[in-house]
Amino acid sequence: MNEKMRGNNYLKYFRYTLDDLKKSSDRKLFDYISFFAGGGGSSAGYKLAGGDCKFVNEFQQVAVDTYLANWPETPHHICGDIKAVSGQQIMEMTGIKKYELDILDGSPPCPPFSMSGTKKKGWGKEKTAYGMKQKNIEDLTWEQIRIAGEMMPKVIVCENVKGLTMEYASEHLARMVNDFEELGYTTVYKVLKGHEQGVPQKRERVFIVSVRNDVLDKINMPFMCLASEVFPDPEKEFASIADAIEDLQLNDENKLEAHELVETMKKGAKWKWLKRLEKNPDKVVSVGDDVVRPWYDKVIAHRIKWGKTVPEAKHSFFQSRRVPWNQASHTLSEQGLQTSLAVHLHPEEDRVFTTKESARIMTLPDDYILTGTLNEKLARIGLMVAPICMKYLADNIYNNILKPYKEL
């Protein structure tokens, strides 16, 4: 690796395997169940922290296939709509009694709150999310809270996009906090920055943590201390794209998929612009700003001179970015890894990241199994919770809340 590829501030990338996850999970420090489980990003984080999964719920079969391919030992799961799942049903399946569960986790669908989505104007309408037509997906949060009320776990964790903390979603977040309060929980939340915790992408997600009041009373933790115990300032560990994927550039399987991606992208409308974008840049460059814009400005001047109409620049061109090797990637997303949109570009090659590269950038295990088509695999990764972020949170919840509670 040349010096251009590695920066002085990016020093650490944590690598691990599925066997490492199993050994850690076998400690059974706490139990948890997971809703909107996806391909298992949050579960990987809980397992790294010593969590023992008792039940998962996910309505997309391709995601369930991925989850079970990695953890076939998962004792109970339901592939289906959370609206048809009850706390009583879960308790009968798992043998867990009311008030016994340690953590109830969930990452409700984020499109209604995403800053790149339709925001509030799309609420209540039918839309395609995760490849399926759904209506009122913003209301799925209340289903997780309903089940929490039926099971009354010690801790409830909700993860979502940063947009949930913005003004347009303030009423939704306020209702969540109020609903938890009515159930007898105290709630804190914070936007965590993945790139400050060893995740080689600038991924910002809000984590909402609600702790049952009798648990706080028993460990003598006042509300004013809860946030600092759940979200202590992390020891910032930075990782770059190079730290995460440099070695994969020599991997034969990765090179084969990389070639496939290049050939696929050559057929796309962006190719003639994308191939002109600077390779191995010193700073972030985009197809829109650094390739299309100079051409567009000349076209505008020419058309104005001759009294012709001025074409609009496509916003998607400005989202297609190439990040230097020595920086963290922009946020991976369901759509951003699709070859047709070409948002997240490799530092040197005219393509999006491969599945192996994307998995590394999301801090998944090196041998993580992904099922489905190539685009389904890439989308599945883009939708995940970064395991290293979830490990940070789960470690804090266990060490500062659950462990003291269990020891009394």
**Cβ–Cβ under 8 Å, residues 177 and 187:** yes
Give the C-alpha separation, 43 to 71, whole Å: 10
Whole-Å CA distances, 291 to 268, 271, 299, 326: 16, 12, 13, 22
DSSP letter (8 states) at residue 184: T
Predicted local distance difference test score (pLDDT) of residue 51: 98
Predicted local distance difference test score (pLDDT) of residue 57: 98
Residue range(s) of every CATH 3.40.50.150 domain in the chain = 3-240+385-407
Angle at 377 between CA 374 and CA 382, to 5 degrees: 125
Question: Given pLDDT bands bounded at 50, 70 and 90, which one contains residue 341?
Answer: confident
What percentage of the chain has pLDDT greater than the value 90? 65
Query: Would you tell me how many other CB atoms lie within 10 Å of the CB of residue 9?
Result: 10
Residue of 12 and 207 predicted with greater confidence: 207
Predicted local distance difference test score (pLDDT) of residue 3: 38
The sign one gets for the Cα dihedral 94, 99, 105, 108 is positive
Give the C-alpha separation, 21 to 45, whole Å: 9
Q: Is the pLDDT of residue 209 over 70?
A: yes
The helix (H) or strand (E) run that includes residue 396 is helix 387-397
Q: Is the pLDDT of residue 396 over 80?
A: yes
Whole-Å CA distances, 362 to 22, 254, 342, 358, 366: 19, 16, 18, 6, 11
Tell me the β-bridge partners of 190. 207
Query: Would you tell me how many other CB atoms lie within 10 Å of the CB of residue 73?
Result: 9
| Strand spans (E) along 76-166 | 77-79, 103-106, 126-129, 132-135, 155-161
What percentage of the chain has pLDDT greater than the value 70? 83
Give the C-alpha separation, 177 to 46, whole Å: 23
**Cβ–Cβ under 8 Å, residues 282 and 324:** yes
pLDDT digits over 62-88, tens only? 999 999 999 999 999 999 999 999 999
Diameter over CA atoms, the chain: 82
| Residues in CB range of 213: below 8 A, 6 or more apart | 184, 185, 186
Q: Is the pLDDT of residue 365 over 80?
A: yes
Question: At the top level of CATH, which class does the domain 3-240+385-407 belong to?
Answer: alpha beta
pLDDT digits over 256-291, tens only? 999 999 998 898 878 888 888 999 999 999 887 888
Question: Given pLDDT bands bounded at 50, 70 and 90, which one contains residue 118?
Answer: very low
Give the C-alpha separation, 353 to 395, whole Å: 30
Give the C-alpha separation, 280 to 60, whole Å: 38
For 98, phi then psi, to 5°, come to -55, 135
Predicted local distance difference test score (pLDDT) of residue 269: 78
Averaged pLDDT of the chain: 87
